[in-house]
Structure 1
Amino acid sequence: MGMHPTIQRVCPIHIEAHGDIKAPCVVLVLGLGMQVVEWPTGFIKKLSEQFYVVCIENRDMGRSGRCGPDMEPELARFLVDKPRSDDAKIPYTLFDMRDDVLRAVDRLGVEKFAIVGFSMGGMIAQLVAAQPGQRVTAFAQICSSGGEASAPFSPDAYARLLAVTQVGNSKAELIEMLARDLIWFLAPSRLSKDEAKDLAAMMLETGFTPGGYARQLLAIQCSGDRSDDLRSIQAPAIIIGARQDRCLSLDGSNRAFELIPHAEFKVFDGMGHSLEPAALDYLTSWLCNVATAVAQKDNRRTDHGMA
């Protein structure tokens, strides 16, 4: 793995846990600008019947700590100029967000865990799974990338992401913009304008800020090429992609599949950049199968007198 800059400042991370702490652990990490409340409740409920589910609130969002002001127009302008990964203006990288996850599981006393990441969360989860040792029992990414130095956003998608970082102080303006983006990114899933506005208003009430969004986007764009990290992932892995993803090209998922040893690849048709029930049901079954296989392997080792 290559050398990457790490910001030393530690940021408080909000954690939510569900299920029996004695069950196998699954850590969930969401994407750019997202918060724990955006995991579908049915998915969390079903997963927590089999696992101890730990939801991580990424820094700069929700109830986690902030690494800068709520509005940061200078940083927004900086993003337009395609910043370099070695620029001193970068508050943190995906590697710092990886360390947030590791600090969180350490705080909970979790020794081994599976990790699932959506979008930016998939990029963070890749780096967690790439860590040496055998803590990660399984890895899954949904609608994410392949460790590229510059994430494979479509031009239309990146223009929308930049617009959010540049929005003014008007709450109504921000709700309108977020609602339009939700409808666009989730397509072909149907989300009415009223539903999108309600969701956007909830995002603001629970801790969304344009400044935090800009800093997270900067971390995505300024963490360098991570191909070697993906090649080092040894845990059972699955790559879930969406055929109609308007945000991150399916090429990124293909690249992850090519780089991660022994990975499985599942592509869903009729799915945009979203957490669709069909994909989450498939993922739940896959995690259960991997957990069963890991338990059987551990039992065989114990039967043969191995610690």
Structure 2
Amino acid sequence: MNFATYSSGGDTFYGGVTEGGMIALNDAFPQWPTLLDAVQADGLAALGAAAADRPVTHKDVQYEMVLPNARRIICVGVNFPDRNAEYKDGSEQPKFMSLFPRFASGFTGHDRPLIRPPESDQLDYEGEVAVVIGTGGRRIAQADAYDHIAGLTICNEGTIRDWVRHAKFNVTQGKNWDNSGAIGPWLVPFTDAAQLDDARIITRVNGEVRQDDVLARMMHPIRREIEYISTFMTLEPGDIIVTGTPTGSGARLDPPQFLKPGDVVEVEVNTIGTLRNTIKDEEV
């Protein structure tokens, strides 16, 4: 069973996702007030067992960012061969991966609008797979990396393109506008290596395919990402790693095609689901 954070009637819940609606699980696990608490306690199996015996509790819901209180979100940049070539700087495949932080405030949930700020009209999409750490560790070997993953979700790592170039070595300000990206729609428990090894990302804008690639082509595979990141920091349960986007973002098209109000962006990953968002201008 997959799990989501959602709101209904002015309250926030987490629970199991079914075709008929949500099965709230907060009351069954008062020791885990949020889905993040359940992940940190290695509780996804217990959630699934509890949901199997409970009825649907909510049908009219609004998805929230899947782990809205995530403490650390680490993103991997320029991680597909064609993506590296898009920069047209003559550089070869980098030996080490590019990393940057994002904060939970920069993400909204499934079927919610991404917000374009008045300061820029260069809101762009980036479809990616995100892994949620379940077992922490330091200096994790690649062979053991998958053992540290609790679940998978999808990220549209929305970016304000001109703001990533405000400083020489810094993309943080272009990557952290409030509600400029989305993570969801749900958390899929990680039980089989094929969920990542056979995963394919397809990003569509208004039905047009813009990105289409497989994780197997990553320059820095997810096992390597976990190994590398855990070398310099101790990964903790609930940490999210956003693993990299394929070629085809709007900034790299000729001419560039940025998102505008009314657009619909769908990021589909065959082993996870589809994350869908509209675009809306910020009300100021």
- The TM-score normalised by the length of structure 1 is 0.22
Greater share of strand residues, 1 or 2? 2
- Which one has the bigger helix percentage? 1
